[in-house]
C-alpha cells in the first residue's frame, strides 16, 4: 500500500472528479431546460414551434407579363426560392463536400464539431468554422438566432453570450431535423443563403453570376458559388477574381477528396479560368421599368391595406403588359428619339433651346431650374444655402445619358442640369380598347437617368388631340359628321380686360367655305371646332371629358376647344378607346390578379366600365377620325404598308410653339397614345416642320404598329375597325338649317375682330393655341415655365 496521505489525496481527487462529472451530467440538462424555457429571461427566447414549422424569409415579389415573362421584381433582398428538383446535383455535391460531408448521417449536430467549436471558437477565440453543420447554418440564417430579438440578460457577457448562441443553434438544429427532411433542409439553406452582390438564394445567384438556372450549373460554376459562401465579400469573383479562383479550386479539391469527381477531372477543371456572365438585377434594368415604378405606389397601398409586405412576402403580381409589345415599343421609342434628338441638336446648335414666346432665351433659366433640383436641395440641407452655389458649380464625377451610350464625365451639377434640359422626352401607352388591358407602357427615354413617368405622372396640353372630345359631345347631342359650318372667325366674350377672343387658323386665313365636321376635324380647323364649342358650351365638353375618363383639372373656358387643359397619355388613350368599344369607357387596367407565395389568389382585378356615349356616336367618331386619312387630313402621310388591307384612324396634335407633339392612333384591337416634348414647355423645336406631332410622334406610332404586324408571335393583325351593331344612315345634311347663323358667320368673316391670343390673360388662354400643319395659332406664356 502506498502512503496513507497520498491515498487520501487520490481518493479526494477521484471523489471531486466524480462529483464534477455527476454535476455536469445534472447541470447540462438543467442548463438546456432553462435555455429552452428562457428562465428569468436570462438567455433570450428560441424560435417557436410554429415559426420553425413555417419559416419565413424575405422573398422577392415578382411582376409577370400577360405572356408569362417576368417583367421585374420588388425586393429588399433579391431572393426567389426553388424546389430541390430544380437544383443541380453538382451544386449539392459541392456544398456537402465543402461544408458538411456528414450531413446525411447527423441529426443536426455532431460531437466532434461541438468539441472543436468549444475549444477553438469559444475558449481560444479562433474562427475555425465553429463546427457548424448545414442545419446549424440554416438555423442562424433563417431564424437569425443571433439577432437582438433572441437575446436575454446574459447576452451582454461576451464569453457567456457565445456559449448561449451556440447552444441555441444546436437546439434549433435538432428541432429542424425533426421537422424537415434532409432534402427540405438543404433546399431551404440554398434558398436563403447570401452569395454577395445582392444575390440571395441559389436561383438569383445562378442568374447573377452565370445568367443560368440552378439546375444547369456546371461543376466549376457550382464550386465557385459554394466557395463564395465562406465570405461573399472577400471571395467576390467580380472584385477579387484571384481569391475567388483559389477558393473555387479548394472546393474542387474537396469534390475530388470525397470522390464526387475523378482526379483527372479535378486536374482539368482547376486549370480553367472563371468565366462569368455577370449582371446584377436592380430596379433600373429590364423591360417596363417605368411601368414597374408607376404601379409601385398602388402595390404599396394594396399590400398595406391587406397586411402584406411587397418587398418580402414573395407575392406574384400578374399584369396586362405583353412583354413582346413592350419590347417593340421601347425599341421604337429609342430608335426614333435618337433621330429626333440629333435633329433637335442640329437645329439649335450652340444656342440654348429654352426660349420665350418671342424666341428669346429665357434669362437665368438654368439657375432657376437648378434651385428646384433634388441635388440642390440636398446640398442646401447638408452644407447650407450659402454654400450651395459653390458646390453646384464644382465639377464632380457624373454619369450622363446619351443615345450613343452612357458618358462618364467630370462636370458640375449645374452644367449637368443644363445638359439634361436639352434632351427630348417621350411617353407611349397601348391598350386593348375592349378589355381595357394596357399592353405596353413606355414612360420615358431612360429610367436609370430620368425617373419621371410621362404616361400617367406627366400631364401636358393635348392640343388638337382633344378636339375629338369636343366633336363627340356635339354628335352625342344631335350633330352629324355631315353637318356643315363655314370656316369663319368665331368670337368669344371673355371676362377679362381683353373682352373677346377669336382663335385663329393655321396661317390666320379663313376660307369662308363650308366644311363638314368630318372635314374640319380631319384638317384640324380651329375656327370650326371653336364654333361647335360655342354652340354646345364648354361645360358640356368638360362633362364629356369626364365621361371619357379624363380626371385632370379642366376649366370650362373657350380655349378648351384647342386643348388648353393638361391631360396624361394614360387618360387620353383611355378616352379614345371608348370610340372603339361601342361607347363604353373602360378604365385602363394594368393588373389582373395578385397571388401569395403559395399561388393562392388574393385578389382579381376587373376594370371599371360605364357607358360614356351611345354606340352610334362611338361609331360616328371612328368615321370622323378615319377622315384624317380619307379627307386628306393630318394622317394622310401614312405609308402604303400601313394602309393596305387595313383600317386605320387617329389624330395628331401640336401645342403652342411646338412644345408638345401628340398622336393617338387606332387599329384593329389596339389604341395607342404617344407624346414627345421637352422637360419644360419652353424647350421645343424652332419650326413647325420639325416640331409638329405628325413628325415627332406619328412615326413612333406607325413604326410600333408595323413592327407588331411583322412579328408572327404577336396576336395583332390588319383588319377592320369595329362596326355598328345596326346599320347607320349618314345623310349629308345639317342637323339644323340655320340660315341666320350662316349669314352671321359670313358677316363676321368679312369684319373679323382685331384681337388675337396674345390679348388673353393667363387663366383663359394659357397655352391654349394649337399648332397643326393645317391649323396654327401661336401663343406661349413664359411664366408657366417656372
Give the pLDDT confidence of 641-681 residue by residue, as tens digits: 999 999 999 999 999 888 999 999 999 999 999 999 999 99
Say what the pLDDT of residue 727 is. Answer: 64
The residues pairing with 589 across neighbouring beta strands, listed in sequence order, are 437
Percentage of the chain modeled with pLDDT above 90: 64
Query: DSSP 3-state assignment of 742?
Result: helix
Asked whether the beta carbons of 721 and 580 are under 8 A apart, the reply is yes
Asked whether the beta carbons of 675 and 569 are under 8 A apart, the reply is yes
The residues pairing with 515 across neighbouring beta strands, listed in sequence order, are 485
CA–CA distance, 731 with 727 (Å, rounded to integer): 13
Query: DSSP 3-state assignment of 110?
Result: coil
How much of the chain is helix, strand and coil, in % rounded to 5? 45, 15, 40
CA–CA distance, 777 with 780 (Å, rounded to integer): 10
State the pLDDT confidence band at 481, using cuts at 50, 70 and 90. very high
Q: What is the β-pairing status of strands 316-319 and 61-64? A: parallel
SS3 for 60-107 is: CEEEECCCCCEEEEECCCCECCCCHHHCCHHHHHHHHHHHCCCCCCCC
CA–CA distance, 87 with 187 (Å, rounded to integer): 8
Q: What is the pLDDT of residues 678-702, one digit of tens each?
A: 999 999 999 989 999 999 999 999 9
Asked whether the beta carbons of 735 and 623 are under 8 A apart, the reply is no
Characterize 456-475 residue by residue with b for buried, 16 or more Cβ atoms within 10 angstroms of its Cβ, and e for exposed: bbbbbbbbbbbbbbbbbbbb
Lowest mean pLDDT among 5-19, 169-183, 201-215, 344-358: 5-19
Q: Report the interhelical angle of 526-536 vs 538-547 (nearest 10°).
A: 90
Asked whether the beta carbons of 661 and 337 are under 8 A apart, the reply is no
Which of 623, 621, 652 has the alpha carbon at shortest distance from 636? Answer: 652
Residue 263 has pLDDT above 90, yes or no: yes
CA–CA distance, 717 with 625 (Å, rounded to integer): 20
In eight-state DSSP terms, residue 305 is: H
Most confident of 159-163, 191-195, 543-547: 543-547
Query: DSSP 3-state assignment of 715?
Result: coil
CA–CA distance, 445 with 443 (Å, rounded to integer): 7
Which of 502, 575, 481 has the alpha carbon at shortest distance from 754? Answer: 502
CA gyration radius, the chain: 36
- For residues 427-455, average pLDDT: 97
Q: What is the pLDDT of residues 94-145, one digit of tens each?
A: 999 999 888 888 877 766 555 555 555 555 555 544 468 888 888 877 766 6
Question: Which distant-in-sequence residues (6+ apart) come within 8 Å of 747 by Cβ?
Answer: none
245: phi then psi, degrees, rounded to nearest 5? -65, -45
Residue 786 has pLDDT above 60, yes or no: no
- For residues 276-293, average pLDDT: 88
The residues pairing with 227 across neighbouring beta strands, listed in sequence order, are none
CA–CA distance, 536 with 529 (Å, rounded to integer): 11
Asked whether the beta carbons of 191 and 57 are under 8 A apart, the reply is yes
CA–CA distance, 64 with 58 (Å, rounded to integer): 19
CA–CA distance, 614 with 171 (Å, rounded to integer): 72
Say what the pLDDT of residue 177 is. Answer: 84
- For residues 237-263, average pLDDT: 95
Q: Report the interhelical angle of 413-421 vs 374-383 (nearest 10°).
A: 170
Integer angstrom CA distances of residue 728 from 120, 474, 607:
92, 17, 30
Integer angstrom CA distances of residue 373 from 168, 527, 578:
52, 41, 39
Q: What is the pLDDT of residues 482-525, one digit of tens each?
A: 999 999 999 998 877 668 889 988 667 899 999 999 999 999 99
Say what the pLDDT of residue 179 is. Answer: 84
Extended beta strands in 438-507, E state: 438-442, 484-486, 492-493, 500-501
CA–CA distance, 200 with 240 (Å, rounded to integer): 19
State the pLDDT confidence band at 741, using cuts at 50, 70 and 90. very low
The 591-595 sheet, strands edge to edge: 70-74, 61-64, 316-319, 591-595, 601-604
Say what the pLDDT of residue 761 is. Answer: 28
Query: DSSP 3-state assignment of 602?
Result: strand
Long-range contacts of 100-104 (CB under 8 A, 24+ apart): 100/133, 100/134, 101/258, 102/133, 103/133, 103/134, 103/135, 103/182, 103/186, 104/182
CA–CA distance, 716 with 772 (Å, rounded to integer): 30
Say what the pLDDT of residue 757 is. Answer: 34
Asked whether the beta carbons of 624 and 633 are under 8 A apart, the reply is no
Say what the pLDDT of residue 117 is. Answer: 55
Integer angstrom CA distances of residue 380 from 81, 383, 523, 786:
44, 5, 52, 20
Percentage of the chain modeled with pLDDT above 70: 82
Helix and strand numbers, DSSP H then E, in the chain = 30, 18
The residues pairing with 586 across neighbouring beta strands, listed in sequence order, are 609
Residue 785 has pLDDT above 70, yes or no: no
State the pLDDT confidence band at 610, using cuts at 50, 70 and 90. very high
Asked whether the beta carbons of 180 and 71 are under 8 A apart, the reply is no
Asked whether the beta carbons of 764 and 494 are under 8 A apart, the reply is yes
Q: 10 Å Cβ neighbour count for 385? A: 11
Give the burial class of 149: count Cβ atoms within 10 A of its Cβ; 0-12 exposed, 13-18 middle, 19 or more buried. exposed
Q: 10 Å Cβ neighbour count for 402? A: 14
Say what the pLDDT of residue 168 is. Answer: 73
484: phi then psi, degrees, rounded to nearest 5? -100, 140
* CA-based torsion, 322, 325, 330, 333: positive or negative: negative
- For residues 211-240, average pLDDT: 95
Say what the pLDDT of residue 198 is. Answer: 85
Query: Higher confidence at residue 616 or residue 27?
Result: 616
Amino acid at each position: 500500500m502506498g502512503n496513507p496521505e497520498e491515498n487520501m489525496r487520490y481518493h479526494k481527487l477521484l471523489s471531486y472528479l466524480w462529483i464534477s462529472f455527476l454535476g455536469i451530467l445534472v447541470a447540462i440538462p438543467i442548463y438546456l431546460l432553462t435555455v429552452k424555457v428562457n428562465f428569468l429571461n436570462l438567455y433570450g427566447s428560441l424560435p417557436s414551434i410554429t415559426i420553425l414549422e413555417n419559416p419565413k424569409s424575405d422573398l422577392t415579389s415578382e411582376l409577370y407579363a400577360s405572356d408569362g415573362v417576368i417583367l421585374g421584381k420588388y425586393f429588399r433582398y433579391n431572393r426567389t426560392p426553388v424546389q430541390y428538383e430544380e437544383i443541380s446535383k453538382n451544386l449539392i455535391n459541392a456544398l456537402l463536400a465543402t461544408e458538411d460531408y456528414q450531413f446525411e448521417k447527423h441529426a443536426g449536430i455532431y460531437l466532434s464539431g461541438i468539441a472543436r467549436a468549444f475549444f477553438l471558437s469559444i475558449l481560444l477565440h479562433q474562427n475555425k468554422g465553429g463546427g457548424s453543420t448545414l442545419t446549424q447554418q440554416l438555423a442562424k440564417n433563417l431564424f437569425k438566432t443571433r439577432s437582438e430579438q433572441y437575446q436575454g440578460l446574459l447576452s451582454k457577457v461576451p464569453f457567456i453570450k457565445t456559449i448561449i448562441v451556440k447552444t441555441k443553434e444546436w437546439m434549433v438544429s435538432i428541432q429542424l431535423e425533426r421537422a424537415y427532411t434532409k432534402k427540405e433542409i438543404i433546399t431551404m439553406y440554398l434558398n436563403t443563403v447570401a452569395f454577395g452582390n445582392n444575390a440571395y438564394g441559389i436561383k438569383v445567384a445562378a442568374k447573377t453570376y452565370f445568367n443560368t438556372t440552378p439546375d444547369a450549373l456546371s461543376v466549376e460554376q457550382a464550386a465557385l458559388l459554394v466557395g463564395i459562401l465562406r465570405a461573399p465579400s472577400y471571395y467576390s469573383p467580380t472584385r477579387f477574381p484571384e481569391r475567388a479562383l483559389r477558393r473555387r479550386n479548394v472546393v474542387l479539391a474537396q469534390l475530388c477528396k470525397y470522390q464526387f469527381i475523378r482526379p483527372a477531372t479535378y486536374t482539368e477543371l482547376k486549370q480553367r479560368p472563371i468565366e462569368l456572365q455577370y449582371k446584377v438585377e436592380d430596379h433600373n434594368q429590364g423591360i417596363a421599368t417605368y411601368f414597374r415604378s408607376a404601379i409601385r405606389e398602388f402595390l404599396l397601398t394594396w399590400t398595406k391595406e391587406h397586411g402584406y409586405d411587397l418587398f418580402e412576402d414573395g407575392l406574384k403580381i400578374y399584369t396586362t403588359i405583353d412583354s413582346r409589345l413592350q419590347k417593340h415599343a421601347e425599341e421604337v421609342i429609342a430608335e426614333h428619339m435618337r433621330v429626333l434628338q440629333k435633329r433637335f441638336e442640329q437645329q439649335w446648335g450652340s444656342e440654348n433651346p429654352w426660349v420665350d414666346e418671342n424666341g428669346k432665351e429665357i434669362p437665368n433659366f438654368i439657375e432657376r431650374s437648378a434651385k428646384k433640383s433634388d441635388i440642390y436641395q440636398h446640398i442646401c440641407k447638408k452644407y447650407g444655402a450659402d454654400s450651395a452655389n459653390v458646390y453646384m458649380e464644382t465639377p464632380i464625377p457624373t454619369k450622363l445619358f446619351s443615345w450613343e451610350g452612357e458618358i462618364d464625365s467630370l462636370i458640375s451639377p449645374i452644367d449637368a442640369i443644363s445638359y439634361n434640359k436639352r434632351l427630348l422626352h417621350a411617353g407611349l401607352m397601348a391598350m386593348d380598347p375592349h378589355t381595357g388591358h394596357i399592353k405596353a407602357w413606355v414612360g420615358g427615354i431612360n429610367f436609370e437617368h430620368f425617373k419621371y413617368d410621362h404616361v400617367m405622372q406627366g400631364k401636358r396640353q393635348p392640343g388638337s388631340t382633344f378636339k375629338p372630345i369636343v366633336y363627340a359631345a356635339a354628335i352625342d347631342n344631335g350633330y352629324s359628321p355631315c353637318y356643315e359650318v363655314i370656316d369663319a372667325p368665331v368670337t368669344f366674350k371673355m371676362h377679362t380686360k381683353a373682352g373677346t377672343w377669336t382663335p385663329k387658323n393655321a396661317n390666320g386665313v379663313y376660307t369662308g367655305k363650308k366644311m363638314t365636321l368630318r372635314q374640319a376635324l380631319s384638317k384640324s380647323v380651329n375656327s370650326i371646332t371653336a364654333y361647335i364649342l360655342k354652340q354646345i358650351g364648354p361645360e358640356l365638353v368638360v362633362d364629356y371629358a369626364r365621361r371619357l375618363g379624363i380626371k385632370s383639372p379642366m376649366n370650362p373656358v373657350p380655349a378648351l376647344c384647342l386643348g388648353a387643359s393638361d391631360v396624361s397619355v394614360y387618360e387620353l388613350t383611355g378616352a379614345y378607346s371608348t370610340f372603339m368599344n361601342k361607347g363604353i369607357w373602360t378604365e385602363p387596367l394594368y393588373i389582373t390578379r395578385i397571388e401569395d407565395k403559395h399561388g393562392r389568389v388574393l385578389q382579381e382585378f376587373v376594370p371599371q366600365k360605364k357607358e360614356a356615349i351611345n354606340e352610334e356616336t362611338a361609331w360616328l367618331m371612328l368615321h370622323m377620325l378615319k377622315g384624317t386619312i380619307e379627307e386628306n387630313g393630318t394622317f394622310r402621310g401614312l405609308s402604303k404598308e400601313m394602309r393596305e388591307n387595313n383600317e386605320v384612324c387617329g389624330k395628331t396634335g401640336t401645342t403652342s410653339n411646338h412644345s408638345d407633339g401628340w398622336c393617338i392612333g387606332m387599329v384593329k384591337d389596339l389604341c395607342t397614345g404617344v407624346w414627345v416634348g421637352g422637360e419644360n414647355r419652353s424647350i421645343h423645336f424652332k419650326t413647325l416642320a420639325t416640331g409638329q406631332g405628325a413628325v415627332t410622334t406619328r412615326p413612333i406610332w406607325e413604326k410600333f404598329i408595323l413592327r407588331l404586324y411583322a412579328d408572327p408571335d404577336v396576336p395583332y393583325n390588319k383588319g377592320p375597325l369595329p362596326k355598328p351593331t345596326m346599320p347607320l344612315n349618314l345623310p349629308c345634311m345639317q342637323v339644323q338649317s340655320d340660315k341666320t347663323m350662316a349669314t352671321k358667320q359670313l358677316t363676321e368673316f368679312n369684319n373679323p375682330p382685331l384681337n388675337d391670343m396674345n390679348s388673353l390673360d393667363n387663366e383663359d388662354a394659357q397655352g391654349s393655341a394649337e399648332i397643326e400643319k393645317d391649323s396654327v395659332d401661336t401663343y406661349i406664356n413664359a411664366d408657366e415655365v417656372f
